[in-house]
Amino acid sequence: MQDPGASRIAEPPGRPGRRRDPSVDDRVIEATLELLVAGGFEAMTMEAVATRAGTGKAGIYRRWGTKQVLVVDAVLRSGLGASDSVVPDSGTLRGDLTAIVGSETAKATRQKTRLLEGLLVVIREDPQLRAVVTNALIEPRVAAIRTALDRAHDRGEMSSSVDRETLAAVLPSMLFYRLLVSREPVTRVWQHEIVDGIIAWAQRR
Amino acid sequence: MQDPGASRIAEPPGRPGRRRDPSVDDRVIEATLELLVAGGFEAMTMEAVATRAGTGKAGIYRRWGTKQVLVVDAVLRSGLGASDSVVPDSGTLRGDLTAIVGSETAKATRQKTRLLEGLLVVIREDPQLRAVVTNALIEPRVAAIRTALDRAHDRGEMSSSVDRETLAAVLPSMLFYRLLVSREPVTRVWQHEIVDGIIAWAQRR
DNA sequence: TGGTTTCGAAACCGACAGGTCTCGATGTTA
DNA sequence: TAACATCGAGACCTGTCGGTTTCGAAACCA
């Protein structure tokens, strides 16, 4: 799944010398994500990561060969997007969508989106990173919505002529746009307005 | 409307010496936009702009004090977004939305979005540029859709409980997301699927 | 104990970008 | 003609960033 040539540099087992401090790994990954969320790929300088993690650049390059590799690993280990993996069947489309909308805290949504924003620049010219970001951050949520829509379709709650792939993109699209472009707050009311809209869309004749 | 301190450096009138060549202005702006669309703010180096415009960096800095100012001016003069200003009243919501969707060529949409993408990095920490971009690129289209929705409402084509501001953001949001994140082509079929969805959303009970 | 590796810190290297300055040539004004 | 500003081109300055190397101290293994 993961390109071995572009991933973390492993610590060879059974060799002499001092062992790597595992806490450095965690601190670096954490600092990387914080800086990416705060200021994007450009603001995330290796110097800043090292300082924030309380280590030196050498310690980072000993584990990750390049900045790109570090970013990929950080995204993979961010855990963002994990909350979307389970979708309990509530029995109605509204119930499922409400659950999905509520599955993430507002803070998590903001972090995920800002992380995505910070990576947009690099994503443009790095297909590998794009794939990683898509799989780790975006696809889980779209998949959850798709599942909800499929269930609604099976229950006959939804018109067959509606393209479920397009409809599944509505909520992520509007979140993305609101957080990055119009920059208005993501409120409960706003989210439920969208859920209502999606339901109407699903039931169109 | 435009911050004087951050705008183009005017040519003082009635002075001795050679006059500025107006064609330089056009060539620089054009080169700026091309490079922004192609590779974003980072790839748009002043060196590259000068070369592409067939001039020197001095000629650019004589007119625009900084890179930021040049970008702001280029966006303002890009003309993108102008196609959305007029919305003929077709008599139906579907007619109006179809007209808006068709008012821009696919190429113009792609350019506008890629320009926006390239500016996202700078927009984040430059409120002035953000305002300019919003007004020049985004607001015209949202306003056009809002107008169409208002007409539909006045005609009784639309439920009063629907938030028209949210609904007006659906199309721009999905365009933005599709072009930048999922990176699938913007087809006629896809656009009409969305128009149908918006209509159902508008008429929800 | 001796050899090896990691630690954090800092010096260092090479590339590159924004911005300034200089150059000789060309227009423009008085 | 004299003074001056713009032209395109390129040298130049300065800061920054990714990445490498060095350093003494600490930790691990045989």
Each residue's pLDDT tens digit, B155-164: 999 999 999 9
CB contact under 8 A, A167 and B197: yes
Please give the pLDDT value at position A2: 40
Which single residue is written with the structure tokens 């949210």? B166
| Selected residue of B122, B166, B178, B205 to mutate for chain A interface (largest A Cβ count, 10 A) | B166
Return the axis-axis angle of helices B106-123 and B22-43, rounded to nearest 10°.
70
Please give the pLDDT value at position B132: 93
Please give the pLDDT value at position A128: 87
CB contact under 8 A, B174 and A170: yes
Using an 8 Å CB-CB cutoff, list chain B residues near A39: 124
Please give the pLDDT value at position A15: 85
Residue A104 clears pLDDT 50, i.e. is over it: yes
CB A196 within 8 A of CB B197: no
Higher pLDDT, A132 or A15: A132
Least confident of A75-89, A104-118, B48-62: A75-89
Higher pLDDT, A44 or A85: A44
CB B20 within 8 A of CB B64: no
Using an 8 Å CB-CB cutoff, list chain B residues near A177: 169, 172-173, 176-177
CB contact under 8 A, B200 and A196: no
Please give the pLDDT value at position B5: 42
Q: Which amino acid is at A29?
A: I
Query: What is the pLDDT averaged over residues A109-130?
Result: 91
Query: What is the pLDDT averaged over residues B12-26?
Result: 92
How close is the nearest chain B Cα to the Cα of A19, in Å? 40
Rounded Cα distance between B154 and B45, Å, is: 50
Rounded Cα distance between A155 and B23, Å, is: 65
Chain A: residue nearest B169 by CA? A174
Task: Please tell me the number of Cα atoms within 13 Å of A3 on its side-chain side.
Answer: 10
Protein residue at shortest CA distance from C1' of D9: B56
Chain B: residue nearest A165 by CA? B190
How close is the nearest chain B Cα to the Cα of A25, in Å? 28
Please give the pLDDT value at position A5: 43
Q: Which amino acid is at A64?
A: W
Query: What is the pLDDT averaged over residues B116-120?
Result: 92
Contacting residues for B84 by C-beta, under 8 A, at least 6 apart: B100, B103, B104, B140, B141, B143, B144
Protein residue at shortest CA distance from C1' of D10: B56
CB A199 within 8 A of CB B205: no
What would you measure as the largest C-alpha separation in chain A, in angstroms?
71
Cα B65 to chain centroid distance, Å, stands at 23
Å: B59 CA to C22 C1': 14
Chain B: residue nearest A170 by CA? B174
CB B40 within 8 A of CB B115: no
CB contact under 8 A, B121 and A116: no
Residue B2 clears pLDDT 50, i.e. is over it: no
Protein residue at shortest CA distance from C1' of C30: B16
Least confident of A57-61, A177-181, B159-163, B168-172: A177-181
- Look up the pTM and report it: 0.91
Query: What is the pLDDT averaged over residues B78-106?
Result: 90
Q: What is the mean pLDDT of chain B?
A: 93
Residue A88 clears pLDDT 60, i.e. is over it: yes
Rounded Cα distance between A182 and A42, Å, is: 22
| Selected residue of A166, A186, A188 to mutate for chain B interface (largest B Cβ count, 10 A) | A166
Using an 8 Å CB-CB cutoff, list chain A residues near B173: 170, 173-174, 176-178
Residue B42, nucleotide of least CA–C1' distance: C17
Please give the pLDDT value at position B3: 43
